Amino acid sequence: MPLNPLRPVYTISYVKELAPQVGLEPTTLRLTAECSAIELLRNTVARLEILTGANEFYNKADSMRSSEYLPHTKPNRLTRRKDPIHSSFVSFALLGLPLCSQPFTFPLMTIRQWRIARRSLSYGERTLVMGILNVTPDSFSDGGEFLSLDRALAQAEQMIIEGADIIDVGGESTRPGSEFVSEQQEIDRVIPVIERLSSDTAIPISIDTTKSTVARAALNVGAQIVNDISGLRFDPAIADEVARAGAGLVLMHSRGTPKDMQQLPPVEDILSEVASGLRESILVANQRGVANENIAIDPGIGFGKAAEQNLELIANLDQLAREFADFPIVIGTSRKAFIGKLLGDAPPDERLHGTIATVVASVLNGAHIVRVHDVKATVEAMRAADAIKNPTEPR
C-alpha cells in the first residue's frame, strides 16, 4: 500500500487497512520518538500491537514505506518481558512526514490485555469507561428513556462521542425488587440495538444478561462481551457461549436474586464473601472453557450488600486487586442507592457528584473499568484520577 505524502497523520481507518498486511491487530495508540516523545491523537489513531515477531514486523513494514517520508532506522533496543500476565508492546504510528532527523526508538510498554471477541482491550494505562444503555421500562435510574430503537441508538452515539470505551446494553432490570423477564422479551429489546451498534461503530458492545440464550443471540449479532451480574450462578451455560465466541466475560459477585437480594441479612466479612464468590465463578468459567485472559471481575456494589459494606468494598478494593491481579476489575457504583443515602436521600438523577467520588476512589484503589450512566463527567474525572495514579506519564 503506497503512503500518501500529503497526509501527515494516518488515521485509524488507514491503519486498520494496513494492519492485516503486516499481520498485526490495530488497537490503541502511542508513538514515542527518541527526539520528541510525542503522543498523537491519543485513543483516535491506532497502535499496532506486536505480541511476537518485532523484527518480522519491521521487515514487512520496510517494504511498504517510502524512504522519503518514513525513517528506515530500526529500533536500537527491543527488550521483551517474559511475563505470562502482561503483553509486550511496541507502539508504532505511521507518519507521512518525518518528525525530526534523529533516529526513532520504540520502547516496550507493559500494558495488560483483556481478550474479547475478535480483539483485545488494553487496560492499566488508563481507566476504561463502560457506558450504560438500559433498554428497559423499569430500570431504577433511566427506565423507559431508551425503549425505542432510535432513542437507544442516539444515546449510544452520545456516549461514544463523550468518550465511552464500551457500551453495555441491558434488556432486563436488576434493580432491587425487580422480577425476571422472559428470554424472548429480553431478546426483542436488546438484539435490534446490538445489531445496529455492532455494524455502525467499532466500540465494543457488551450484553448485560444472566441468560445463555440471550447471550448467544447477542454474540451472534456482534456483541463482544457478556456481563453477567450473577457470576454464572443463574445460568452457567453463559460460559459455554462465551467460550464458543471467544468473547469477554464480566463475572460479578451478587447474593440472592434482584427480587430478594436487599432482604438478605448482611454477611459478617464482605471482603471474604466477595473473594470466595468470585473464585467460584472463575472456576466455573474455566471448567467450561473460558480462559482467564477473557475474564473480568466485578465486586457487585449494591447487589446483596449493606450500604456500609459497599463503602468497605470500595475502600479495600486494593486487596481484591492484589488477590485477583490477573483480571481487570470492573466497578459499578453509578447513581446507586447507597450514594443517595449518603447524600440525604437524593434521587438517582441527583447522584452524579457522589458517583464521581466513588469511581475515583475505586480507580485509585485498583479498578480498571468503570460502568456509568454519565459518561462525559466520568471520562473527565478519570483523566484526573489516572494522572494522579501515574504522575510521571506524559500528558
What the block records as the C-alpha cell of 350 is 441527583
What the block records as the C-alpha cell of 62 is 520496510
Closest CA to 86 of 298, 297, 325: 325
Q: How far apart are CA 169 and CA 135, in angstroms?
A: 7
Closest CA to 137 of 171, 168, 104: 171
Q: Is 305 an active-site residue?
A: no
Q: Is 371 an active-site residue?
A: yes
**Active site residue: 30, 115, 305, 336, which one?**
336
Report CA 202 to chain centroid distance, whole Å: 13
**Active site residue: 47, 189, 305, 371, which one?**
371
- Give catalytic residue positions: 336, 371
